[in-house]
């Protein structure tokens, strides 16, 4: 937004004991928030000996019978991320139903090499549904930290509930990742959903400016090459809060633009200059390669992250890639935003999403989208507020009512999708969104101009940023100093927006039951404080069959 391979590996040895109930697992894990600390502490950011596991462990893309395990080995002092140095290393992995590894249910070996930046993945299968597991890696006598993960419910199971941490927009230079630390301390999550901008491509001191930089990027220059992207990913995973969260919860991630460059599209980006920064396709390929090396993501199709995960018959999670196939962002006011020739999803992905929504027999159809689908029009705002807000929303400084980097800039795709939901009676669809560094709870209107006299086709929950600048950061004022004016103007011009907060950083916790889907919004006290506290702010929910958002009085216990 405009604010400034996987390698083939052996599968597991199947065979696991009968699965404990979810509540039993939660109680066992509750030997504390204490679980998160040892996992993270076992992987120091800097170690004198090699081989070493300096970047922690992670798991991702859970299935009823499997999960993807990840780590990175440092085979020698010179084999830092992006260096291309270091020998091949044979890495063993094992997974068990107990933290002491007395009940091992799978083991295997993979090779860490410079070709994959010494990252490794093990695509483990043969596991039991809805079960907690522990895993670790080793090289000779050197062991990694212990990770904890969880498989999803059986395809036809009817779980009582699901709970996800939801985050987006984590800019290293803007602050510390306290949101991750607070999610790591929870023992009640099935997974953490990361909706994009896991890292940022800017050079140090550019966004935010040097006066407001909390800690500096590596490399210091804007990342362009494969080595650059690898280095930036490696730096991110030295963060203790990143390691803590990813060691205890499976990660389900999609990318947005900053994993590549600001306002990326299929053929370029706003923050890419071919004359000085090389060929866009080469840069995009380098960014994707580093992403798949460093993230615990199982790509469904080479080069993209759109895929679908099922959580019994309670929820299907449809994950979108809104950067690889989109047309270039249009300039505002020329009518091109409505052209059927322009797309944000690409034809194949939109057809995949439509057919998946229609075919789903799950109670809830969750859609992970990196940019907001709900339309946004500006009301009357003072220029000193309209300018920074336009920067966050990807609008021209004149404040015209089109957000061209989001679905507002590709209205034909949005209209086709909403029409499909209506024509095929697809109900209980909830969009989960990041990107704009603000928290929102929206109805997704069929016709925004006549809402609420016209119906809503779905609902949308947007989480704020982990650290990236929001309105008060850009204006350098205290929260709520000026935002109440902007929030009131936007809500007046957009009757489908039920709530928004433009000023705070934090995360969401999404709780799903057969009766409702509820997002609990949490905020952190200070992004520049490594020990920032967390507090509940608001909760909004969608009751089944309503396609509308309403306020909930309290977070889910």
Checking if the pLDDT of 32 tops 70, the result is no
Q: Per residue, what are the HEC states of 189-222?
A: CCEEEECCCCCCCCCCCCCCCHHHCCCCCCCCCC
Containing 289, the helix (H) or strand (E) segment is helix 280-294
- Report the DSSP beta bridge partners of residue 539: 520, 552
**415/395 Cα distance (integer angstroms):** 21
Higher pLDDT, 50 or 488: 488
Higher pLDDT, 49 or 87: 87
The pLDDT tens digits of the residues spanning 391-400 come to: 776 654 433 4
**447/427 Cα distance (integer angstroms):** 17
pLDDT at 174: 98
User: Which residues, at least 6 apart from 503, have a Cβ–Cβ distance to it below 8 Å?
Assistant: 470, 471, 472, 479, 480, 483
Checking if the pLDDT of 11 tops 60, the result is no
Checking if the pLDDT of 386 tops 80, the result is no
pLDDT at 326: 98
The answer to which of 108-112, 182-186, 476-480 has the lowest mean pLDDT is 476-480
Determine phi and psi for 67, rounding to 5 degrees. -160, 155
Percent over 70 (pLDDT), the chain: 87
Q: Which tokens hold the place of 328?
A: 């270039």
pLDDT at 485: 84
Q: Write out the DSSP string of 411-466.
A: HHHHHHHHHHHHHTT---EEEEE-SSSSEEEEEEESSGGGTTTS-EEEEEEE---S
Cis peptide before 208 (omega within 30 of 0): yes
pLDDT classification of 29: cutoffs 50, 70, 90? very low
- Report the DSSP beta bridge partners of residue 551: 540
**59/68 Cα distance (integer angstroms):** 5
The answer to which of 251-265, 304-318, 479-493 has the lowest mean pLDDT is 479-493
pLDDT classification of 427: cutoffs 50, 70, 90? very high
**471/438 Cα distance (integer angstroms):** 8
| Mean pLDDT on 100-119 | 98
pLDDT at 228: 98
The answer to which of 18-27, 169-178, 191-200, 375-384 has the lowest mean pLDDT is 18-27
Percent over 90 (pLDDT), the chain: 79
pLDDT at 6: 31
pLDDT classification of 50: cutoffs 50, 70, 90? confident
pLDDT at 49: 67
The pLDDT tens digits of the residues spanning 506-546 come to: 999 999 999 999 999 999 999 999 999 999 999 999 999 99
Checking if the pLDDT of 305 tops 80, the result is yes
Instruction: Report all structural domains of the chain as residue ranges with CATH numbers, in order of start.
Output: 22-150 (2.60.40.380), 162-552 (3.60.21.70)
**431/264 Cα distance (integer angstroms):** 21
- Nearest Cα neighbor of 323 from 431, 230, 196, 436 is 196
The pLDDT tens digits of the residues spanning 312-346 come to: 999 999 999 999 999 999 876 556 888 899 999 99
pLDDT at 425: 97
Helix, strand, coil percentages (3-state) for the chain, rounded to 5, are 25, 25, 50
Tell me the average pLDDT of the chain.
89
pLDDT at 38: 45
Angle (nearest 5°) at CA 124 between 153 and 197: 80
Angle (nearest 5°) at CA 492 between 488 and 494: 115
Checking if the pLDDT of 443 tops 80, the result is yes
Q: How much is the pTM? A: 0.90
| Mean pLDDT on 85-96 | 98
Most confident of 295-304, 440-449, 487-496: 440-449
| Mean pLDDT on 71-79 | 97
- Nearest Cα neighbor of 250 from 371, 124, 435 is 124
């Amino acid at each position: 937004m405009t604010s400034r391979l996987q390698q083939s590996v052996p599968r597991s040895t199947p065979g696991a004991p009968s699965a404990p109930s979810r509540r039993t697992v939660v109680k066992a894990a509750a030997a504390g928030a204490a679980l998160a600390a040892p996992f993270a502490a076992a992987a120091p950011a800097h170690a004198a000996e090699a081989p070493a596991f300096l970047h922690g462990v992670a798991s991702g893309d859970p299935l009823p019978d499997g999960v993807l395990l990840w780590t990175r080995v440092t085979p020698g002092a010179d084999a830092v991320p992006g260096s291309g140095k270091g020998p091949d290393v044979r890495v063993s992995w094992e997974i068990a139903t107990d933290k002491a590894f007395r009940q091992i249910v799978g083991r295997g070996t993979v090779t860490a090499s410079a070709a994959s930046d010494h990252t490794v993945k093990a695509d483990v299968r043969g596991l039991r549904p809805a079960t907690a597991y522990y895993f670790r890696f080793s090289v000779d006598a050197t062991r990694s930290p212990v990770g904890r993960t969880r498989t999803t419910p059986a395809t036809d199971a009817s779980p009582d509930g699901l709970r996800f941490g939801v985050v987006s927009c984590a800019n290293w230079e803007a602050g510390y990742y306290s949101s991750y630390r607070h999610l790591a301390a929870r023992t009640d999550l099935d997974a953490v959903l990361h909706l994009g901008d896991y890292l940022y491509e800017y050079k140090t001191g550019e966004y935010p400016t040097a006066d407001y930089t909390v800690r500096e990027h590596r490399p210091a220059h804007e990342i362009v090459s494969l080595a650059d992207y690898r280095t930036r990913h490696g730096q991110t995973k030295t963060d203790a809060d990143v390691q803590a969260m990813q060691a205890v919860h499976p990660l389900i991630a999609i990318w947005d633009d900053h994993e590549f460059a600001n306002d990326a599209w299929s053929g370029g980006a706003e923050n890419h200059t071919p004359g000085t920064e090389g060929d866009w396709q080469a840069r995009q390929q380098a960014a994707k390669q580093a992403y798949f090396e460093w993230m615990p993501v199982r790509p469904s199709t080479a080069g993209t992250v759109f895929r679908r995960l099922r959580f019994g018959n309670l929820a299907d999670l449809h994950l979108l890639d809104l950067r690889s196939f989109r047309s270039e962002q249009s300039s505002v006011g020329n009518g091109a935003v409505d052209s059927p020739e322009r797309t944000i999803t690409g034809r194949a992905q939109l057809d995949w999403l439509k057919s998946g929504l229609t075919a789903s027999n799950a109670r809830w159809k969750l859609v992970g989208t990196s940019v907001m689908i709900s339309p946004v029009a500006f009301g009357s705002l003072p220029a000193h507020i309209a300018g920074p807000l336009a920067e966050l929303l990807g609008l021209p400084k004149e404040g015209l009512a089109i957000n061209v980097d989001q679905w507002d800039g590709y209205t034909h795709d949005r209209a086709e999708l909403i029409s499909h939901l209506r024509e095929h009676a697809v109900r209980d669809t909830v969009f989960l969104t990041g990107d704009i560094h603000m928290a929102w709870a929206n109805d997704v209107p069929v016709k925004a101009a006549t809402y609420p006299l016209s119906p809503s086709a779905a609902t949308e929950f947007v989480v704020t940023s982990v650290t990236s600048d929001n309105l008060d950061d850009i204006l350098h004022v205290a929260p709520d100093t000026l935002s109440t004016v902007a929030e009131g103007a936007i809500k007046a011009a957009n009757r489908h927006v039920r709530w928004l907060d433009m000023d705070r950083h934090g995360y969401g916790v999404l709780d799903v039951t057969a009766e409702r889907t509820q997002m609990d919004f949490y905020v952190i006290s200070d992004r520049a404080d490594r020990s920032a506290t967390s507090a509940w702010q608001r909760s909004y929910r969608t009751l089944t069959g309503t396609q509308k958002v309403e306020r909930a009085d309290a977070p889910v216990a």
